[in-house]
Amino acid sequence: MRCYACHANDNYFLMLIPLGTTIPPLLNTTSNNLFLTFQTDMSISGAGFHLEYTGLDSCPEPQTPSNGVKVGDRYFVGDVVSFHCEQGYTLKGSAYITCMPGPVRRWNYPAPLCLAECGGFLSDLNGVILSPGFPGNYPSGLDCNWTVKLPVGFGIHLQFLNFSTEAVHDYLEVRSGTLDSGSVIDRFSGPVVPESFFSTTHETSFFFHSDYSQNKPGFHITYEAYELQRCPDPRPFRNGVVIGSDFGVGMTISFQCLPGYTLLGEASLTCLHGISRNWNHPVPRCEALCGGNITALNGTIYSPGHPADYPNLKDCIWSIRVPPGNGIHINFTVLNTEPIYDYITIWDGPDQTSPQIGQFSGSSPQEAVSSTSNRILLKFHSDFSTSGFFLLRYHGEQNLAYSLTPTECVTYAVRTLRRAVNVHTFNPNCGMKLH
């Protein structure tokens, strides 16, 4: 007699049963299919045979590990069941078990466990970090190290889903870089769940310490990689300059305006952490304002809105003050205003009751003028019609009237009067200044 055991892949295995009058031993197959063949020749006959068979049970259903997944729902001989763990847990045991043949059905390995371990190395673009034993309490006397290492150009966004440690004595420290040389981002301890934050390097390290007293549930942290893009380039920066050319995360740049322009906004910006790159404030602007108080020894005054034409219906006042002992020399670099109706008035002093140096309008070249005081008031007026633009430059110059003899003072006054061809009024102040 021949016995064939058939497996699912159609492979047949022959088992020979002895001939004669000897009762064969118990036979077990490893398949759920069995074929028997009985052959007789033309000679002697015998009593034959009497067989009984019993189907063997399947292997017991393996237990699904806590915090894990079981794959496979057939538990017969030769069937394989696999296991894997949720993120943050490590598989302890065999990931694959097979139902074995035999009089008693059993698996070749016990079902594995999924455990949160003390430390580890992670390189996936997203993952989970758990305190040892989570969601149970962590053990005492631990020093655990985790490292998240991503491709260069990526940082990680950390979110704390759970956090509870013994305050002060049990803590989690996060470092930007390696544990040995990285800088500490923060240290967390106690019952408060920390806010999410960003690490801006491709390698981030974690160190957890527990002492020998109270044990707590610990922590559940998720991380996600983000690309370390640069903040937007603020250049070209109109009417000014940008100081600094590194626009990466955490970097600071500053802004300065060209002479005659005023900075509106923050003078320094820092590139913020985050999945999308942004500066911590809007990019500032450099604008020519309508009026202002100026104390620099020399400078530039533009018409409002320069280099565009000035607006209509404006009355702008600039107060210029230089150190005592200096007068103010004004040069009309560009003057292009609507004649008569749009004009610049300059007073030799701090207000409009001071002597008027002159009133200037139109587009004809203007000679430079000077004040006898260390303060002048400059007013620009535009009406409702034609616009234009202007550019004035000034500088403080030593007022000779402070150091001249009476005879020299007269000569100085005459020369100054000759220079003030287009000036409406003039007050040399010479006699009053001498000691």
The verdict on residue 310 lying in a domain is: yes
Do 269 and 182 fall within a single domain?
Answer: no
pLDDT, residue 274, reads: 63
Q: Is 149 found in the same domain as 223? A: yes
pLDDT in tens, 375-429: 999 999 999 998 999 999 999 998 755 545 555 555 555 544 444 433 333 344 4
> How far is C-alpha 434 from the chain's CA centre?
65
pLDDT of residue 430: 47
d(CA 397, CA 232): 44
Predicted local distance difference test score (pLDDT) of residue 42: 80
Q: What is the domain-level CATH number for residue 90? A: 2.10.70.10
Q: 425 and 318 in one domain? A: yes
Q: What is the pTM of this model?
A: 0.52
Integer distance in angstroms from the first to the last C-alpha of the chain? 143
Q: How is residue 390 written in tokens?
A: 């202007």
In this prediction, residues 121-129 reach a mean pLDDT of 96
Examine the pLDDT at 312 and tell me if it is beyond 80: yes
Which domain-ending residue is among 188, 203, 227?
227
Beta strands 126-130 and 218-227, pairing class: antiparallel
Residue 247: inside a domain:
yes
pLDDT of the residue at 11? 55
Same domain, 106 and 137: no
User: Under the phi-then-psi rule, with left for phi > 0, alpha for psi from -120 to 50, and beta for the rest, what region is 119?
Assistant: left
**pLDDT tens digit string along 13-35?**
555 666 677 787 777 665 667 77
Residue 57 in any domain: the answer is no
Mean pLDDT of the chain: 86
Q: Is residue 232 part of a domain?
A: no
**Which residues are paired to 338 by β-bridges?**
none
Residue 347 lies in a domain: yes
Q: Is residue 276 part of a domain?
A: yes
Q: Are residues 321 and 411 in the same domain?
A: yes
The answer to whether residues 315 and 282 belong to one domain is no
In this prediction, residue 152 has a pLDDT band, given cuts at 50, 70 and 90, of confident
Quote the CA–CA distance of 223 and 87 in Å, as a whole number: 11
Q: What is the pLDDT of residue 435?
A: 31
| Assigned domain for 110 exists | yes
Same domain flag for 297 and 427: yes
Q: Give the domain CATH number at 204.
A: 2.60.120.290
Same domain for 303 and 341?
Answer: yes
Q: Which domain holds residue 109?
A: 68-115
Asked if residue 23 lies in contact with residue 51, where contact means CB atoms within 8 angstroms, the answer is no
Same structural domain, 334 and 418 = yes
How many structural domains compose the chain?
A: 5
Residues 184 and 263 in one domain: no
Quick: pLDDT tens for 329-376.
Answer: 999 999 999 999 999 999 999 999 999 999 999 998 888 999 999 999
